[in-house]
Amino acid sequence: MSGKDRIQLSDHFTYRRLFTFVLPTIANMIFLSVYGIVDGLFISNFVGKVAFASVNVTFPIFSVLGVFGLMLGTGGSAIIGKKLGEQEPEKANGYFSFFVFVCIAVGIVMAVAGVFILRPAIELIGVEQEMVHYCMVYGLIGMITLPCYMLQFLFQILFVTAEKPRLGFWITVITGCINIVLDFFLIVVFHWGVAGAAVATGISELIGGITPLIYFSRPNDSLLRIGRPRVEFPALRKACSNGLSEFVSTVSESVVSMLYNFQLLRLAGADGVAAFGVMQYCTFIFFSIFAGYNMGVQPLFSYNFGAENRVEMKNLFKKSMFLMEGGGLTMMAILVIFARPLVSIFVGYDADLVDMAAHGMRIYALIFITCGINIFVTGMFTALNNGVVSAFIATVRVVICEIGAVMILPIFFGLNGIWFAASVAEAGSIIPVIVFVVILRKRYGYA
């Protein structure tokens, strides 16, 4: 993109300009979800539904261990974007460098800890004995590249702050394609099974984490560069506080996933876990659209907050709310109409499993009525350096509403209660979202 056409954080955003700016991060998150989905496709169709269920049981553990990269990326982006808006690029780069080094150090510690907690965590969920081997193989291989998994999240958010979202997108495309190719050869051609899927994912994470590290360490034309870190622990604490909602959401969602798996194993065995895994894979892309938009628009709020440009914040808020609700209703309709063909892609070899997953999908799809707005508002308050509010919303949304729903609804509705749990939780979460949006609108000037 030429200097004349380059979209900057300080621009006024029409729908077209906003879409152009956030498209790379949306596409980026879609590709991240796609190569996760491809893992599921290959494992389910070429290794079997027990292995497929095992990977779905293991993945939330990685989410808990790797969430620090997401928290530091979102929270740090708010600080860095605000400093850029205040015309203090040296401080912005100093904080950026500090956050990168901290992420690497924490990633190494988490990987070592993960080796020791993996088996107890798996056994705590209560998996069937035939699933334990698959869980351990996938998990132990994945721990090797956990630091790069964390760096991927950190950099993909900060690429936007650096005004380089397209570069982040192309790195994700390349790593995603590598993962897909390796999945084919390691699982289908060489019959490595679950180990092949883990190795393919690990190699793609290495590339996705190290490539941005090299780019930002060298001279470049972005707003950010890794140099001498500005070691200020209050800034790190503030970044973690800003990103607390993402931490709470991800950890809580991982815990909720474990509770889902516990309930499903109790009510429907490995088939229930596999059915829920299929539903999650089918909705990954839709959730990634919301997540990508959120990641793309957050630096715009942070920058305009620092620049005290309330007119542009109102513009961004109004357009975002319209896009989130319109997109959510469209996604719900697609999932309800095409539930059966979508789940058949993963488990078409088992008619009973297709019936279970398609039925569950049509109920689960109700989540999209409100989840887009909940995700956007939580991220907006993070971008506005109000981690307390965003963390409170995330806590109500996941810890209180969803954990309560997944534990209580199955008592009265059995398996259907599990499928309804997420949409009931999102509907309940819209209440604090509306309350905080109204109460804080004058302080921040977004409405």
Distance CA 142, CA 93 (A): 31
Q: How far apart are the first and last CA of the chain?
A: 32
Say what the pLDDT of residue 3 is.
46
Tally the domains of the chain: 1
Q: What are phi and psi of 103, to 5 degrees?
A: -60, -40
Say what the pLDDT of residue 6 is.
67
The reply to whether 71 falls in a domain is: yes
Residue numbers of the domain that contains 82: 15-444
The reply to whether 1 falls in a domain is: no
Among left, alpha and beta (phi > 0; psi -120 to 50; other), residue 191 is left
pLDDT in tens, the chain (447 residues): 444 456 777 788 889 999 888 888 888 788 777 767 888 889 989 998 889 888 888 888 888 888 888 889 888 988 998 888 888 999 999 999 999 999 999 999 999 999 999 999 888 877 778 889 999 999 999 999 999 999 988 998 899 889 888 888 889 889 888 999 999 999 999 999 999 999 999 999 999 999 999 999 999 999 999 999 999 999 999 888 877 767 777 777 777 888 888 899 889 988 998 899 899 888 988 999 998 899 889 889 988 988 889 999 999 999 999 999 999 999 999 999 999 999 999 999 899 999 999 999 999 999 999 999 999 999 899 888 888 898 888 888 877 898 899 999 999 999 999 999 999 999 999 999 999 999 999 999 887
CA 343 to chain centre: 22
The reply to whether 43 falls in a domain is: yes
CA torsion sign, 300 to 303 to 306 to 307? negative
pLDDT digit string, tens, across residues 298-322: 889 988 988 889 999 999 999 999 9
Other beta carbons within 10 Å of 261: 21
The reply to whether 8 falls in a domain is: no
Give, in degrees to the nearest 5, the angle at Cα 301 between 160 and 443: 160
The reply to whether 120 falls in a domain is: yes
Output the CA–CA distances (angstroms, integers) from residue 351 to 124, 341, 346, 357, 358, in the order listed: 31, 12, 11, 10, 11
Say what the pLDDT of residue 5 is.
57
**What are all long-range contacts of 120-124, with beta carbons under 8 Å and residues at least 24 apart?**
121/61, 122/57, 122/58, 122/61, 124/258
**187-213 burial string, b = 16+ CB within 10 Å, else e?**
beeeebbbbbbbbbbbbbbbbbbebbb
Q: What are phi and psi of 306, to 5 degrees?
A: -65, -35
Other beta carbons within 10 Å of 88: 15
Say what the pLDDT of residue 90 is.
93
Helix (H, G, I), strand (E, B) or coil at 192: coil
Say what the pLDDT of residue 383 is.
87
Helix, strand, coil tally for the chain in percent (to 5): 85, 0, 15
The reply to whether 6 falls in a domain is: no
Q: What global pTM score does this model have?
A: 0.74
Extract the tokens encoding 287: 């959730």
The reply to whether 5 falls in a domain is: no
Q: What is the Rg, in whole angstroms, of the alpha carbon atoms belonging to the chain? A: 21
Closest CA to 131 of 265, 329, 326: 265
The reply to whether 67 falls in a domain is: yes
CA 179 to chain centre: 18
Helix (H, G, I), strand (E, B) or coil at 303: helix
Extract the tokens encoding 152: 């991927």
Residue 5's contacts (CB-CB under 8 Å, 6 or more residues apart) are none
Distance CA 394, CA 376 (A): 11
